[in-house]
Amino acid sequence: MPPSYLRHPHLNGDTLVLVAEDDLWTAPVDGGRAYRLTADGVPVARPRISPDGALVAWTSTRERAPEVFVTEVEGGAARRLTWWGDHTTKLIGWTPEGEVLAVSAAGQPSRRHPWAHVIPAGGGTPRRQPLGPLADLAQRAEGPAVLLSATMTREMAWQKRYRGGTAGKLWWNPEGAFVRLAADLDGNLDSPMLVGDRIAFLSDHEGWGNLYSLDGRGAGLRRHTDHGADGAPAFYARHSATDGTRVVYESAGQLWLLDDLDGEPRLLDVRLGGPRTAREPYRITTGEWLGRVRPDATGRSSVVGVRGTVHRLTHRDGPARALQATPGVRARLAAPLGEDRAVWVDDALGEDAVCIAPLDPRAPDAPQMQRFGEFGRVLELVPAPDGKSVALTTHDGRLLLLADGEFRELARGGDGEVYDVAFSPDSAWLAYCDPVGSGLSQVVLVRLEDGEAVPVTEGRFRDADPVFTLDGKHLAFLSLRSFDPIYDEHAFDLTFPASWRPFLVPLGARTPSPFGASPDGRPVSPEDDKPEDPPALDASDPGDETEEAPSEKKTKKDEGPPEVVVAHNGLSGLGSNTRYWKSRPSSPSFQN
């Protein structure tokens, strides 16, 4: 059986309680099989057994924020004792009278000022103790108490060898007033305990977290563990607790016990019963983690990403095929490539790589999976409609084209990262947005055959989401260039709530604007053309793009692109199949 990571031990009599796999467990003090006390599966910490050995209290995040719970040592339903809702809440032990002792900054102006509270074990109103802000407290029925004053919210092992001003400091009150202990120790102190007639604590002033103690006068420093020394575990001693005589602590997920401060620590052999739930594969709900969904050209299936994995889903009855589900590999930006392949980005090679794989690897003549990398972090991945190439943008502002197993740089961002890449329907052109300044960008067309770039807009505004129409004769995009202010309802000023608008650009000099005005109307077919009319668009006509130079494939700059008339809403996410966009109302509404 693989070893388990054990933490936060405490003991009373022959009973040991501990934390493992986000639950509370109990076991014999001398080791052996441990049994669950809780089955919540949420982070828990600092279990403490009551002085009479009947109850155990702990801190649990079952209710989101950490709260104090209590149950019987023999098992039973847990009872919630606090409703503070404060993330600094933690249990620190029991009072000699059998009440729960916890600290929390609830009701304080700063989370750095947690106070100690006494809570009845049967439930009731917590009573704040007049001890000031503190992090831990140890006390007896009669005699002085020792407390830990610290503003750090992280334990000693999380910030090793910290020497700053917020490190833990020990105080105690042998004659009524609290005085500083071990002020000459240049280290971080934690877990104060009263063990016999000595004051024990954890400290890393010698470079490693170990167990130390002082006598009742605050002198006579002794070290009781040797973690970090030659032949000893090279890990901090953590989470120490005591029953007044013995001390138990954790180091690197193992439990150690000192029968007294004069003895040597010995390793406890504690074995968890039941399955190792924390080592099982994490089971997810697909609906909660469903990511990018891209239908294929047939419309019968889609390539989807689910929490770092890639799957092919049929739109009707049929199985879901996992294309990439290797543990430890994170895949993203998945999309279909042609009719029989899919493409995505994953880190199977250690860094981002473009992976091209068959949709059905067991089909006859199925292509082999290929990976192409060493270009940095991929930001966008767009496959060509013909399935012969893939365009991608990287973190260093490059626009790359992957074709025939080789990368070719098409463009580099003028003032940042290229974004919103789109292929033309014939896979011969790419449209993208090029940042040209602070908050400004322009739409650019690039021909894949020779890499010639043609600017569509001038870069005086912020443009986004360029897409080609299905016939390839127009380019639509969104632009933040409408200045139509309204008066603000709260301040004496003007506001611009609806500046995003869709625009359409004819890509050919002879291609008329679909929104252009004509006294006689627009011809709907070539048979209706008159000599003075612009030519009507024919579905069978391959278009006039091949007859024109790239420089003619844009509208005149002095005219600007024609605007698509829509309602005054915030727009985003322009799509090409049906020329759609997402709209955000600028006025309040009760409708979704």
What would the pLDDT profile of 8-47 be if each residue is shown by its tens digit? 999 999 999 999 999 999 999 999 999 999 999 899 999 9
In this prediction, residue 556 has a pLDDT band, given cuts at 50, 70 and 90, of very low
pLDDT top residue among 277 and 112:
112
- Across residues 473-478, what is the average pLDDT? 91
Amino acid, single-letter form, for residue 138: A
Taking the C-alpha atoms of residue 535 and residue 236, their distance in angstroms, rounded to an integer, is 82
**Contacts (Cβ under 8 Å, ≥6 apart) of 45:** 7, 8, 19, 58, 59, 66, 90, 91
3-state helix, strand, coil in the chain (%, to 5): 5, 40, 55
What 520-524 contacts at long range (C-beta under 8 Å, 24+ apart), as own/partner pairs, is none
Q: Is 482 helix (H, G, I), strand (E, B) or coil?
A: coil
In this prediction, residue 231 has a pLDDT band, given cuts at 50, 70 and 90, of confident
Alpha helices in 133-197 (DSSP H): none
* Average pLDDT of the chain, as a whole number: 86
Half-sphere exposure of 267 (CA within 13 A, CB side): 10
SS3 labels along 430-472: EEEEEEEECCEEEEEEEECCCCCEEECCCCCEEEEEEEECCCC
pLDDT top residue among 318 and 29:
29
The pTM assigned to this predicted structure is 0.61
Q: What are the boundaries of each domain within the chain?
A: 286-387, 413-592
Please give the pLDDT value at position 154.
Answer: 75
